[in-house]
Amino acid sequence: MNKILLEDITNIANSKMVAWDKLEGKSIFVTGATGLIGSQIVLGIDQHNKLYGTNIKIYALARNPKKADKLFGECSENVITVVGDMCSPYSIEGDVDYIVHGASMTSSKDFVEKAVETILTGINSTANILNFAREKKVSGFVYLSSLEAYGVTDPNLKSVKETDYGFIDQLSPRSSYSEGKRMAECLCASYASEYGVPAKIVRLCQTFGAGVDYSDNRVFAQFAKSAIEGKDIILKTKGETYRNYCYTSDAVTGILCVLLDGNVAEAYNIANPATGISIADMAKLVADKLSDGKIKVCFDIAEDVTKLGYGPTIKVALDTTKLEAIGWKASVDLEETFRRTIEYMKDTR
């Protein structure tokens, strides 16, 4: 296993913020298990098993068994791959005590070009897993939502709390992702109210770190690849969107804190409050500090950025006071996040 990734999952496994005693001898089902966050949830929990003998059984839902084998080949026998589609019925014998629902479409381009599929996949997969949770009478359920569920918030807000909702243009196909997330959140709250499913929600800012695939085309991966390859960063917008970020292992401990200690039918922001930055300034950070000044930031403004899958210009710095109140705190700053991501990507490309 890559050195940086091993350090990260070991940090997750050793985290004192997670109520590991509640998971001992239990089972957990993770959808989106081969994704960046889902895979580190699986690996982090299994590393805790290896270090502490807690015998937590982990069911990892994957569409691609080869990718699952590659990711989980060094895991213990407690990790069981469940091959299937997130919208199809699941067949797992025995108890399932906890569920993390992280499966989702993640490509910004798909949000525009496959807007219908983005909406239906988000809603249908969430309804499917909530029905499964109801059937299994789980003790805890957490849905991975996004800061995009806030839409365009008041730019004068210093930070965005869980109740600070903004505007979403529902007639824009690019809104398929953000509206789909809102509807899925409502489903979680509705299943909690009507059927007693202990569903909770986390709203993640953009999260990255070790585990990012070299072919990933999201903005942070593009910046990291520019630093690795010594190529200038080309921005297609003015880069005015401002938001905060989170390192992957920090996000995983936050998710587990909400799963085990969060309130049912409530949402919790996950971000590192110290990482607030605009896209343009983040590009400059990478060019100046992470490529030894060998690259620069250039602007090639697109006429219609919506065709590229870009969302509207926003200023969203997530407030994490609510999550910190149940014992969580981020530890990895933005520069270190990029350093670790770049080192991982260099080693695995």
Number of folded domains that form the chain:
1
Per-residue pLDDT at 306? 66
Q: Give yes or no for residue 241 having a pLDDT over 80.
A: yes
**173 part of a folded domain:** yes
pLDDT band at 187 (very low <50, low <70, confident <90, very high): very high
Q: Give yes or no for residue 322 having a pLDDT over 90.
A: yes
Per-residue pLDDT at 42? 98
pLDDT tens digits for range 163-179: 999 999 999 999 999 99
**136 part of a folded domain:** yes
Beta strands in 217-341, from DSSP E residues, in sequence order = 233-235, 242-243, 245-247, 267-270, 277-278, 297-299, 315-316
* C-alpha to C-alpha distance for 341 and 230, rounded to whole angstroms: 16
**217 part of a folded domain:** no
pLDDT tens digits for range 199-211: 999 999 999 999 9
* C-alpha to C-alpha distance for 304 and 285, rounded to whole angstroms: 26
Per-residue pLDDT at 41? 98
pLDDT tens digits for range 108-151: 889 999 999 999 999 999 999 999 999 999 999 999 999 999 99
**288 part of a folded domain:** no
pLDDT band at 305 (very low <50, low <70, confident <90, very high): low
Per-residue pLDDT at 308? 66
Q: What average pLDDT score do residues 251-263 get?
A: 98
**67 part of a folded domain:** yes
Better-predicted residue by pLDDT, 65 or 305: 65
Q: Which of 171, 167, 186 is nearest to 126 (CA)?
A: 186
Per-residue pLDDT at 278? 97
pLDDT tens digits for range 106-116: 788 899 999 99
Per-residue pLDDT at 29? 98
Domain span at residue 176 reads 3-208+246-274+317-331
Per-residue pLDDT at 91? 86
pLDDT band at 12 (very low <50, low <70, confident <90, very high): very high
Cβ–Cβ < 8 Å for 60, 82: yes
pLDDT band at 105 (very low <50, low <70, confident <90, very high): confident
**303 part of a folded domain:** no
Per-residue pLDDT at 80? 97
Cβ–Cβ < 8 Å for 205, 270: yes
Ramachandran quadrant class, 218 (left: phi over 0; alpha: psi -120 to 50; beta: rest): beta
Q: Which of 330, 318, 198 is nearest to 254 (CA)?
A: 330
**202 part of a folded domain:** yes
* C-alpha to C-alpha distance for 288 and 227, rounded to whole angstroms: 10
Least confident span in 16-30, 189-203, 252-266, 287-301: 287-301
Q: Give yes or no for residue 327 having a pLDDT over 90.
A: yes
Q: What CATH number has the domain bearing residue 187?
A: 3.40.50.720
**223 part of a folded domain:** no
